[in-house]
Amino acid sequence: MGKLAVFLAGLLFGAGVTVSGMVNPMKILNFMDIAGQWDPTLILVMGAGLVVTFIGYRLTLARPRPLFAPAFNLPHSTALDGRLLGGGALFGLGWGLTGFCPGPAVASLAFGRAESFIFVVAMAAGMIAARLLAHRGSSPQELAEVEG
């Protein structure tokens, strides 16, 4: 049942970014072009997402435990380290240069555009490279434990 809930949540997210036009990289690039053809719709999508997330977290965390897990698995670190800042910078650069955010890029695969496939393949390669670099020197058994 948990996997079905994850699938349905992903389907809802994909439908939302598709209906809002956020799978179109030009929407994002036009948002960042303040002096040119500025398109403010990304602000509305982000604002709606923020409101839904705020309400969802309040309702979810008020429960004693998640519906499909024995306990909540929340992050405990609040450190602003080089890994977090570097990852944020890479994310921002990639988003600004290509107009693709990871989630909408995956959703845009349904349209069969070459740039969507190129971006998703490059993103997957980057994720694999980051994981390998983060776990250099780890044994195959330790890597299997991390991947869980």
3-state helix, strand, coil in the chain (%, to 5): 70, 0, 30
Domain that holds residue 39: 2-147
pTM of this prediction? Answer: 0.73
Chain segment 6-47, per-residue pLDDT in tens: 899 999 988 998 999 899 999 989 998 999 899 999 999 999
Q: How many domains does the chain have?
A: 1
Kindly report the number of other CB atoms within 10 A of residue 104's CB atom: 25
